[in-house]
Amino acid sequence: MRDESLTITDNRTGKTYKVPIENGAIRAIDLRQIKTEEDDFGLMTYDPGFLNTASCQSRITYIDGERGILNYRGYPIEQLAESSTFVETAYLIIHGELPTRQQLEDWTYHITHHTIIHRNIEKFIDGFHYDAHPMGVLLSTVAALSTFYPDAHDIMNPESRQLQTYRLLAKMPTLAAFAYRHSIGMPYAYPDNDLNYTGNFLNMLFKKTELKYRPDPVLERALDVLFILHADHEQNCSTSAMRSVGSSQVDPYSATADAAAALYGPLHGGANEAVLRMLTEIGSKEHIPDFIRRVKAGEGRLMGFGHRVYKNYDPRARIIKRMADEVFKVTGKNPLLEIALELEKIALEDEYFIKRKLYPNVDFYSGLIYQAMGFPITIFPVLFAIARTAGWVAQWIEMIGDADQKIARPRQIYLGADARDYVPIDQRA
Ligand code: CMC
């Protein structure tokens, strides 16, 4: 049998250590025994940005970045995008298996019947300035939910976790839609239980004076597929935030607010918004070579390109690119598409991007679809947050049930001043 272990020789002392290898990893704590002196702290690893550190074991999402593979609970993203719905995929991600017909009915029923938010949350949204970014509104209001549901603090109780799961999945679209309606000064449109998850979201966003809002089925399905593609992506920045903050045993609304804050950043979920701004700024195909030159000179990034894990085409981008055609048949072509296609072509032939394995990611084309569907740019990261809530919740529940997990508390390498005496203010230089 193969010896699943690693032998390390510390050249400082000449001592040799043997540490077990499990699932292709060693435990960082096993390095602590490697010391030069008895009272030495022991060897640590230094890994800013977690480039090569697994922070957990997980059974939810599998990514093979080299081969461009993404599976939720073993099911390929292409099959889910083709055959599943977001609500079913959320069930799969959270529960580990596809639901039976009855399970799906119950799940859908509960999510549909928790969509309304307390009037005081509406008043809270009313308090934001008219030009508040919807993502800032979303993350603040989801945090505020924790004050409305004190039972959510009972995180060790599976029934409570189930209830908060329904509430989170159900209320995120309502919060997002209300944030948008507030920003354009429109009265809030209440949930319509006759519509499905995405149809109802479109209703809350776009309903005007008509008695019944009827979403376009192609656009409703396209948004549902986009939600499936964004539902989880293993240990990315926002999911790590969810797990890290959740590891303090705070309630899931507070942890979700932190995850949403992480997603807000332009390097993560804010990238779809940044792509649209970039394409608008480029303005026409003739300006692309100059733009690429500036990116290569380090004067900014080609937004929607590159990924920490995918070093091949992002499989989600491939599905989105195909879907764009269907959406544009209904909405008309987004004039920025030509620029995006040309930008992609030029970048994929350029040595700079080839060498660094930079390919379009999920955000490169999603914004074009969102814009064609009538979504304002600032709501793009909010759409990402609604879908990713399924993943955040699944990862949070997995973390709570994982006996290996402890409060997240990284170590540091201290390089600051040695201990010194306090200097009174009149004696300082
Ligand atoms: N444009 C130009 N250069 C880039 C880009 C880009 N988009 N991405 C990476 N690089 C370069 C980077 O400058 C570096 O070059 P060098 O080795 O010469 O210093 C090299 O490629 C490696 O980059 P890195 O920053 O070390 O890679 P990372 O794994 O830390 O960053 C990333 C991953 C997604 C943050 C980065 O590729 C990026 O900033 N992309 C643009 C923002 C974006 O589209 N984000 C959405 C990610 S997908 C949705 C999600 O899951 O959040």
Span 336-360, average pLDDT = 93
Cβ–Cβ contacts within 10 Å for residue 427, how many?
6
Ligand 1: centre distance to CA 239 (Å): 18
pLDDT single digits (tens) 101-133? 999 999 999 999 999 999 999 999 999 998 999
pLDDT single digits (tens) 244-274? 999 999 999 999 999 999 999 988 888 888 9
Residue numbers annotated as active site: 268, 307, 363
| Pocket perturbation via mutation, ligand 1, pick of 358, 363, 366, 392 by most ligand atoms within 8 A of CB | 358
Ligand 1: centre distance to CA 172 (Å): 29
Cα 285 to Cα 343: distance, rounded to the nearest angstrom: 8
* Alpha-carbon torsion angle 150, 117, 253, 164, nearest 10: 70
Residue 412, pLDDT above cutoff 90? yes
Which one-letter DSSP state was computed for residue 100? P
Q: What's the token pair of residue 389? A: 């809530």
Bridge partner residues of 22 (DSSP): 25
Tell me the pLDDT band of 223, cut-offs 50, 70 and 90: very high
**0.85 cut: is pTM over it?**
yes
Residue 315, pLDDT above cutoff 90? yes
Check residue 273 and give its pLDDT: 86
- Range scoring the smallest mean pLDDT among 5-9, 48-52, 211-215, 365-369: 365-369
Cα 102 to Cα 49: distance, rounded to the nearest angstrom: 43
Higher pLDDT, 97 or 361: 97
Check residue 237 and give its pLDDT: 97
pLDDT single digits (tens) 377-407? 889 899 999 999 999 999 999 999 999 999 9
Residue 325, pLDDT above cutoff 90? no
Alpha helices in 96-157 (DSSP H): 101-112, 119-126, 134-148
Distant-in-sequence, close-in-space partners of 239: CB < 8 Å, separation ≥ 6: 232, 233, 259, 388, 391, 392, 395
Check residue 189 and give its pLDDT: 97
Bridge partner residues of 64 (DSSP): 69
